[in-house]
Amino acid sequence: MALARTIENEAPVIALRNLTVAYPRYGGEPRTALAGIDLAIDAGEMVGLVGEAGAGKTLLARTIMDAIPGDGRLVCGEMDYRGAPISRIGRDDSPVRPGRDIAMIVSNPRNELNPVLTVGTQITNVIRHHLRLGKAEARERALQMLRAVAIPDPERRLDAWPHELSGGMAQRVVIAIALACNPGLVISDDATSALDVTVQRQVLDLFKALVEDKGVAALLITRDIAVTAHYCDRIVILYDGEVVEDAPRKAFFDRPHHPYSVLLMAAFAHSVSLRRQWTAAPLKTAASPACRFAERCVRRQPRCIAEAPALRDVAPGRRVRCHFPVEAVA
């Protein structure tokens, strides 16, 4: 009993090992869209996943939810939820259920709600299905959730239609749905990018508070590295389907180690000189380089073309995938 407890407390909520997803390509090798992702998130921890469009951020989220889009295929990899291996979540025999144990919110909140169902119905649908509650209890819980996401006049909002809500309100409702069944992990896939800046801040503040309060593990996917600087405990940088850097927030922003991280930071700081300094001249080589970032890297050496860098520990809690990590930016 005691042992089980400690394991439960110490194991990360979600642990991904060597997660690899490939898409078939006409008359060619399959394209590896996610290459051996290793990532773990603890309870109450908020991890920011940053990368440009096409890096595989959304695909990673969908893979965790067992909802890989298109004809992509999970080639290999393992997932643990609270220390117990899960084959694929969502299978009937899996104890881990999407929506209950792992919840996800995506961008454009107005479109995420069904226009012909009231807010209350949409929340209670999820609650009743996952928690097997009766009508009245589910409604009571939905009301609690609306209060938790600080929606004014929650009783009335239960009977409101989605088109009667502002974007920020709709996003709060979506968060309420995601958190309604006390999930262990919440993934936010660029969820606030459609909102204007002040509303985005309010929603993120609320989200952060809820995550800390409920001890939920959170994965915050974004293109905006500034968002992670404010809200995340740890930053993970994804480039072309690979984790290239993983570091605690302060360490990361003090001294990014991967050349790509520096480039992202330059954009964040609106520093033209920094960006120019870290943008590489086009690569002139016939062989496709072993490091996926080599084509855009100012620090590449012959070794980068010949040998793929591994994701290695450089300090406690810090990993970087580079042969020649950056020590000083300027």
Partner 1 sequence: MQILRYIARRLLFVIPQLIGIVAISFFLIKLIPGDPAVLMLGPNATADAVANLRSQMGLDQPLVNQFFIYLGNVARGDLGMSWQTANPVLTDLLQRFPATLELVTLSLLLALAIGIPLGVASSMHKRGALRRFADGYGLLAGALPDFWLALVLIFVFYSVLQIAPAPLGRFSFMLIPPETITGSVLIDSLIEGRFDVFWSALGHLILPVLTLGLVNAGPILKITQSTMDRALSSDYIAFARLSGLPRRTVRAQAFRASLPNIITIVSVLYSFLIGSAVLVEIVFGWGGAGQYAVAGVLNADVNPVLGFVLFAAMLSLVVYLVVDLLYFALDPRTRV
| Interacting residues toward ligand SF4 by CB under 6 A | 259, 291, 293-294, 297, 299-300, 304, 309, 322-324
Q: Beta strand 185-189 with 217-222: parallel, antiparallel or unpaired?
A: parallel
Enter the tokens of residue 279.
Answer: 């943008």
Q: Which of 17, 97, 255, 299 binds partner 1 (CB under 8 A)?
A: 97
Q: Which of 163, 230, 250, 303 binds partner 1 (CB under 8 A)?
A: 163
Sign of CA dihedral 270, 233, 179, 54: positive
Residue 185 sits in the site that holds partner 1 (CB under 8 A): no
User: Could you tell me the smallest distance in angstroms from the CB atom of residue 219 to partner 1?
Assistant: 14
| Packing angle, helices 119-131 and 135-148, rounded to 10 | 120
User: Could you tell me the smallest distance in angstroms from the CB atom of residue 119 to partner 1?
Assistant: 11
Residue 176 sits in the site that holds partner 1 (CB under 8 A): no
Please report how many Cα atoms fall inside a 13 Å half-sphere around the Cα of residue 299, on the Cβ side: 18
Q: Which of 34, 126, 203, 238 binds partner 1 (CB under 8 A)?
A: 126
Residue 299 sits in the site that holds partner 1 (CB under 8 A): no
Residue 169 sits in the site that holds partner 1 (CB under 8 A): no
Separation CA 90–CA 94 (nearest Å): 6
Separation CA 23–CA 29 (nearest Å): 9
| Packing angle, helices 167-179 and 119-131, rounded to 10 | 10
Separation CA 29–CA 52 (nearest Å): 24
Separation CA 208–CA 216 (nearest Å): 10
**Closer to partner 1 by Cβ: residue 178 or 262:** 178
The binder of 77, among ligand SF4, partner 1, none, by C-beta within 5 to 8 A per type, is none
> Which residues from 243-272 bind partner 1, rule CB under 8 A?
none
Residues lying near partner 1 in the complex (CB under 8 A) are found at: 65, 67, 90, 97-100, 103-104, 106, 108, 111-118, 125-126, 129-130, 161, 163, 174, 177-178
